[in-house]
Copies of this chain bind each other. A is one copy, B any other.
Amino acid sequence: MKIKGVEHIGIAITNLGECIATLKKTFGLKESHRERIEASNVEVVFFECGTTQIELVTPTSDASPISVFLSKRGNGIHHICLDVEDIEGWLAALKAKGIELIDSEPRRGAHGKKVAFLSPKSTCGFLIELSEQVE
């Protein structure tokens, strides 16, 4: 099992419109996808940036974990998402290594991909998401 690359970098923000304008006008990046993920209480907007994507994430309700992050520290880089194959195999292997999982089973993320978050307690204090493309 091998990490294929960085699928995206997730950035938590309160001001979606302003951030979209900055990425487009200041850096010339192109919006590639926009989606509301009801189960996570977030809206996400993706920008292509070479082979990686920048994902802006904004909460759609106070029930979103993104709201907690934003209220603690304001806009900021929230997580790194790593592109994998066989996400179920990865989660089983990580669990066997003693890594604490936020999602013990994959759930559906943006683009219909299978995703799972790992606990930052087990990964040096920063948040890692795993993601697998569903054919």
Bound form: Cα–Cα A26–B119 in Å: 13
How many copies of the shown chain assemble into the complex?
2
- A interface residues, how many (CB within 8 angstroms): 42
* Interface, chain A (partner B; CB < 8 A): 1-6, 9, 11, 13, 15, 18-19, 22, 25-29, 49-52, 54, 73-80, 82-83, 94, 97, 99, 122-127
B125 lies within 8 A of A52 (CB): no
* Residues in B neighbouring A4, C-beta threshold 8 A: 50
A79 lies within 8 A of B82 (CB): no
Q: How far is the CB of A114 from chain B (nearest CB, A)?
A: 18
* Residues in B neighbouring A76, C-beta threshold 8 A: 77, 125-126
